[in-house]
Each structure stands twice: as structure tokens, then as C-alpha cells.
Chains A and B, each alone.
Chain A
Amino acid sequence: MQGLKKSLLTAVWFMFLTFPIMVIRVNTIEKTIVWRWENLALVGISVFLLSYVWRFLMSRRERGNKQNAFATDDRAQAFRALIEDRRIRYSLIAAFAIFVGVFPFLFSMYQVNIMISALIYIMLGLGLNIVVGLAGLLDLGFVAFYAVGAYAYALLNLHFGLGFWAVLPMAAVLGAFVGILLGFPVLRLRGDYLAIVTLGFGEIIRLVLENWGTFTRGPSGISNIPRPDLFGLEFGLQGRIIYMYYVVLALVLFTIAVVTRLKYSRIGRAWMALREDEIACQAMGIDKTQTKLMAFSLGATWAAMAGVVFAAKTSFINPASFTFLESAMILSIVVLGGMGSTVGVILGALILILLPEYLRAFAEYRMIVFGAIMVLFMVFRPQGLIRDRRLKRRFHPAESSKGAEAVPTGEGMARGAGSHG
């Protein structure tokens, strides 16, 4: 009964709130007004239902907080045990690898093209994951480095005729360099300032690309960027797309390998420690600036490489591809997947890039859904779809017979060290 009253009140409140925006549409030139009363009913009913869901999730969240933070529920444990069984795990990985390997021969070129985009976003997501997920630096201008890579390829090709394979390592170095250049002054700043400054940098780079017409060809962009070649071999149109797919796939695998190695390396653990508690971390003798700079420039390296691939794939770039929304999209991939988790980011990229492609009817709702995902995941599941697993040793009183063993738990940034006063 209490719940019903609350939901009714919430529904009425939202009907009031959305009334002018949702119901009335004014055309100030022709002085006509359209009243869309059906939207009011729609808002009322959906908010009424959603408020039940909201309260249910809230109560679950509260229970979750009260429970022992280490206790994971049985289903997750059973699932994990299943995944950790070697035979099942390896056969799953093998099946997935075969599927990915033969993908371009099973599906149409249209599908392959979409998959290439998704793979590019996996690269971007994994790059941003180093910065946001591991090192805990909120970089909202990530797209700037992506643009640097794309324009590096386009311009070097235009002026000097350099090919894809020549530019790829150059762009990686350039990305790292620009990352250091931008990172050096701003990394002294506190987390939230860093977010705004990187946002500002991202916008500056885009505005410069747009306005410096003589160098970048301005808003009209650069076209006829060649796709990658293979020792001078020429492919047909279809062959080129398939080749592109394998190039990107190889780069993604390379990224995954490097990122995984990094994560469990000394520097990776330093990043995570820095994310959890800066002061404690410095007390342990970790060079804060250097460690952060490393994360920042490594993230930039991957964004720049993804930029080269993007330019080669679309063969046309202009500043409109590098807006803040792109940064926001990459961020929501990381947030949805699970900050810090490699598998999570891959899953996040596949969901967020492939779903809107196949649900064309909902394409215009794409950004609003991204926004909602960021809010809802932060409130209800800050660890993302896949919880980042941290190796750590801890004492388990209930299983003391087994002694202290390494149990993977996802004590990510989700329930981390809290803020410092």
C-alpha cells in the first residue's frame, strides 16, 4: 500500500516535470502549437512501473551493502566454477576463436563492416580502460588522441604518400608523445579537474581541426584515404574488407595481450593502488606523476592506433567524427563492461556498438540509452557487467581449515577507498 502511494506520487511528479517538454511542441515561426497528450499518459504509466523496479533495485542494493562484502552469491560462484573448469573454459575459448576467425566467410560484407567498427571500439575501450579503469583517471577528451591518429594517417598519406603500416607505429609514438605533452601539466590536478581539462583539450583539438583549414582541410575533411595493403598485393573490394577485418582483429588481439600483461605487471598494480588511495600509494614510494603519465600516454597510444585504423576503414575523416559524444560513448563502453575488466570492456563494446546497428528502429534512442546506462550502472552496479577480478590474499574465517588462499574477488573501484575529506 505504501509502495503504491509512493509510485503514484512519483508518477504524478514526473508527469508534472515532463509536461511542457513532452506534451507541448511550439513552432515559433508559424505560431502553431501541437499538444501531445498521449505522451503524458505514457510518462505516467512508465514512471509508475519503473518506480517499482527502482525501489526493488534500491532495496537489493541496500541488502548488498549490509551483507559481508566478501560473500558472493551462489549462482555467481557456480558459474565461476564452471568457467574455471579447464576443459569447459578451453573449449569455450576455442569455439569463440573459431567463430571469430571464420566470421567474414559466414556473413555478408555489411556485417563484416559493422564488426570492424565494433573491433575498433574494443581497441578504444581497452585503451581508455587503462586510463579510467586501472589508473582511475577520468579522461573525457580521449577522442582527441583518436583524432590525432586518424589525422596523422590521413595527412601523412596525403602529403608524403606513406602507407598504413608505416604510419601505424608512427601514430602510436605520436599518440604517446601527445599524451605526455597534454598529461604532463594536468596530471597534478585532482580527479574531477582532470576530467574537465581533458574535456577542454578534446574540444580544443576538434576546434583546431575545424578551423585550421589550410592544414586539415577544415570541416570538409580528407577523403580517399587508402585501406591497408599487404606487401603491395591488391585485393578486390570484398577482399579488402576481409583483409581489413583480419588486420583489426590482429590489432585487437595484440591490444588484449599487452593490456593483460600490463595489468598484472608492477606498473599495473601501481595504477590500481593509485586509483584506490593516492596518499597511501605515495607513502609506499610510488612516483605518482610518472605512473599517471604512463597510464595516460599508453591510453593515448591505443587511441591513436585505433584512429589510424578508423581512417583506413572509412577512407574519409572530418572533425565531426571526433566530438565529445564519441568520448562519452567510449566511456560508457568501459562503464557498462566493468571498469578495469578486459573481458567486460570487450563485451561492453560488442553490446553498445552491435545492438544499435541491429535495432535500427531504436537508433535515435542510442545516446539517451548511453546516458541512462552511465547513471544506472553507477547507482546499481558500479562494477559493470563483468566485475574486475583482483588477485589478493585474504583470511577467510569461515574456511579457516583451508587457510588463506588466493581467492579472486572483485574489489574494484566500486567499493573502494571512498573519498578523502
Chain B
Amino acid sequence: MGRMEYFLEIFFGGLTRGSIYALIALGYTMVYGIIQLINFAHGEIYMIGAFTALIVAGVLGSLGMPGYAILLLTLPIAVIYASAYGFTVEKIAYKPLRSAPRLSPLISAIGMSIFLQNYILLAQTADFLPFPNLLPYFDLPDFVGGILTSSEVTIVITAALVMAGLTSFIKFTRMGKAMRATAQNQRMAMLVGVNVDQVISLTFIIGSALAAIGGVLIASHIGQINFYIGFIAGIKAFTAAVLGGIGSVPGAMLGGLVLGWTESFATGYVSSDYEDVFAFALLVLILIFRPAGILGKADSQKV
């Protein structure tokens, strides 16, 4: 294989990875934008989405359904369940702590993350489970066939569509406007009649839904899941969110792609042993030298 082809393969691998990171990062960034909380349990929501998909696909598969029908049923169910979990987590672990000092919801979020991980561990299994490939297979033209696979194409296109949908939702709908208002100033939004509780719940629901889509896509692509995948994916997606500037929706998308490429090129050209170290090192460097991220604005602390 030529050097150019190797480069392109890594490039598209990074793009695929990056789109998934971006999908999960959106959940972090939206929640952070609205209530200034790092939702540590978000990675777990992504993992639960993937697990629900695995279970539903397994049941439907045993009923002898065809592949496309399984995908069409599995994805919405996984999205609904992940959203329901996101919604419930907010109600239990974060809502009672709205007026508490900042450290309290953060610790509560870490607790929730550990709780959900072990909930899956106990109720399901600690082993890696093989995940059926739900993504449609199609033949690619010859000149790209060696470089990228059909599931990579599906992932990138799906992610792009979802992100375009989210952007227009935030930009053009009434609810999107309410979300932006709450992010700017919660109390003022309340004064002009925005139902802040509802907006926060909706933010968690949308973020969780995106994470579930990401979970189903990547689990199909990689082919196995276990209860721990949410932890690493969560930290990486958070890195992506911070990289782009936390609180900024386009920033999360850009950050996801930058992180995906960084990882792909670092593992492709340097060493694969330290795959996770590159992500963490990037996070640390970004936070030290540009804490506001690529697209974020540095805000001064008000008294």
C-alpha cells in the first residue's frame, strides 16, 4: 500500500472516530452550557445506549427479523432508553443540587457514573460482548474501496446529519431559543417566562439521545462492548468538548474531529501503546495553554 493511501486511511479512520467523539461531546457541552456541570455520567449513558441496542438487537434477531428491520427498531429504542436514563439521572443526582456549591454536583456526578457502571456490571456481565454489525453494507467504488469501509461512511454521514439537525433545532425553534436563553442567563430566562426545569430536562434528553446514537454506531463498527467503554469514551468526548471550547456546540464538533485525527495519526505514525495517553496529554496541554478551547470565549469570573 502506498504512503498516500496509508495517510488517507488514517485520515478517514480519524474522521470516523472524531464524528463519534463529537456526538458524545455535544452532550457534555450542552449540559455544561446550561448548568455549568461536567456530567460525568454522560459516558455511562452512551454505554447504556449501546447495551440496550445489543439486548434489543439480540431479542429481535432471535425472532428472525431481517437486518434493516432490526436497525430501524433498535436505534430508536436505544435512543429512547438512553434519554430516559439521562432524564432520570438529572432528576435524582443533579436537580436537588442546583443551588449547592459547585463541588457537590460534581461529586454526585462521579458517584452516578460509578453507580451506573456497576449496575450494568451486576445486571449484565463484566465480559466483553460481541456486538452485531447493524450498519448497512454497500459496495463502494473501486478507488476508495481500499481506504474506507461502508460502515465508516455510514457513521460520518449519520453524525453529520444529526449534528446539522441539532444545529438547526437550536437555531430556529422556540425551544432552541429557550435553551440559548437559559445558557446565557438562567435567572433572566426564568423572568421572561422560560420554563428552566423543562429546558434542563430537554438538554439532558437531547444529549443522551446523541450519545446513544454514537454508542450504537461505534459499537457496530468496533464489534464489542462492555460496561467500561463509557468511562474512556466519556473522558475523550469531554476532552473534545474542552478542546473546542466547552459550552459551544460547533466547538464540540470541531474538537471531536481534532481529537479523532490526533489519536489516529499518533497511533498510526508513532505508537499504538500510548493511544489513550495522547488524548489525555492533549487535554492537559489545551487546559494549560488555552483553557477556553479553540472556539470558546475566555470569560472573566464575576463576583
Contacts and interface: CB of A to CB of B under 8 A. Distances in A.
Interface in B52-101: 52, 54-56, 58-59, 61-62, 81, 84-85, 88, 92-93, 96-97, 99-101
Contacts of B99: 418
Nearest to A370: B114
A199 interface: yes
Interface string B144-165: 0000000000000000000000
Interface in B29-54: 36-38, 48, 51-52, 54
Contact of B54 (A26, A39, A325): A26
A226 interface: no
A200 B119 contact: no
B102 A279 contact: no
Interface string A354-371: 000000000011011011
Interface string B92-127: 110011011111111110111111111111111100
A3 interface: no
A195 B111 CA distance: 14
Interface in A157-202: 185-186, 188-193, 195-197, 199-201
Contacts of B115: 368, 371-372, 375
Contact of B36 (A58, A368, A419): A419
B114 A204 contact: no
A138 B111 CA distance: 13
A371 B112 contact: yes
A48 to B, nearest CB: 16
A208 B283 CA distance: 17
B302 interface: yes
B190 interface: no
Interface in A352-407: 364-365, 367-368, 370-375, 378-379, 382
A400 B232 CA distance: 57
A420 B291 CA distance: 18
B80 to A, nearest CB: 10
B280 A200 contact: yes
Given A21-B124, A196-B242, A364-B122, A374 B54 contact: no
B131 interface: yes
Contacts of A243: none
Contacts of B55: 20-21, 24-26
B123 A331 contact: no
B240 to A, nearest CB: 12
Given A26-B55, A197-B287, A420-B301, A331 B107 contact: yes
B51 A21 contact: yes
A235 interface: no
Nearest to B275: A207
B303 interface: yes
A236 interface: no
Contact of A200 (B54, B108, B117, B235): B235
A21 B51 CA distance: 8
A197 B118 contact: no
B38 A373 contact: no
Given A28-B132, A420-B301, A420-B303, A374 B38 contact: no
A13 B84 CA distance: 9
A13 B92 CA distance: 13
A374 B281 CA distance: 28
A368 B93 contact: no
Q: Name the interface size band of chain A.
A: 35 or more
Interface in B185-200: none
B4 interface: no
B38 A196 contact: yes
A379 B96 contact: yes
Interface in B276-295: 276-277, 280-281, 283-284, 287-288, 291
Contact of B113 (A20, A190, A371): A371
B27 to A, nearest CB: 15
B274 interface: yes
Interface string A5-38: 0000000011011101110111111010100000
Contacts of A371: 111-118
Contact of A17 (B85, B117, B129): B85
Contacts of A31: 58, 61-62
Given A364-B122, A416-B101, A199 B235 contact: yes
B139 interface: no
A335 interface: yes
Kindly name the residue among A22, A24, A325, A332 whose own CB sees the greatest number of chain B CB atoms within 10 A.
A24
A132 B101 CA distance: 13
Given A332-B111, A372-B115, A379-B96, A189 B287 contact: yes
A136 B113 contact: no
B88 to A, nearest CB: 6
Given A203-B280, A418-B101, A189 B36 contact: no
Contacts of B106: 138, 191-192, 195
Contacts of A204: 277, 280-281, 284
Contacts of B280: 200-201, 203-204
B104 A382 contact: yes
Contacts of B142: none
Interface string A322-334: 0011001001100
B261 interface: no
Contacts of A420: 301-303
Given A370-B114, A375-B115, A203 B84 contact: no
Contacts of B114: 325, 328, 367-368, 370-371, 374
Given A21-B124, A367-B114, 17 more contacts: A25-B55, A26-B54, A138-B103, A196-B235, A200-B284, A203-B235, A204-B280, A207-B274, A335-B107, A368-B114, A374-B112, A375-B93, A375-B108, A378-B104, A419-B101, A420-B302, A421-B302
30 contacts: A21-B48, A21-B51, A21-B120, A26-B59, A28-B129, A28-B131, A185-B284, A186-B284, A191-B103, A192-B102, A193-B287, A195-B38, A196-B38, A197-B284, A200-B235, A200-B284, A203-B235, A204-B277, A279-B303, A324-B231, A325-B114, A371-B111, A371-B116, A371-B118, A374-B111, A378-B108, A413-B101, A416-B101, A419-B36, A419-B101
Interface of A: 13-14, 16-18, 20-22, 24-29, 31, 33, 39, 58, 61, 132, 136, 138, 140, 185-186, 188-193, 195-197, 199-201, 203-204, 207-208, 211, 279, 324-325, 328, 331-332, 335, 364-365, 367-368, 370-375, 378-379, 382, 413-414, 416-421
The 7 closest A-B pairs by CB, nearest first: A374-B111, A26-B58, A371-B115, A371-B114, A368-B118, A200-B280, A378-B108
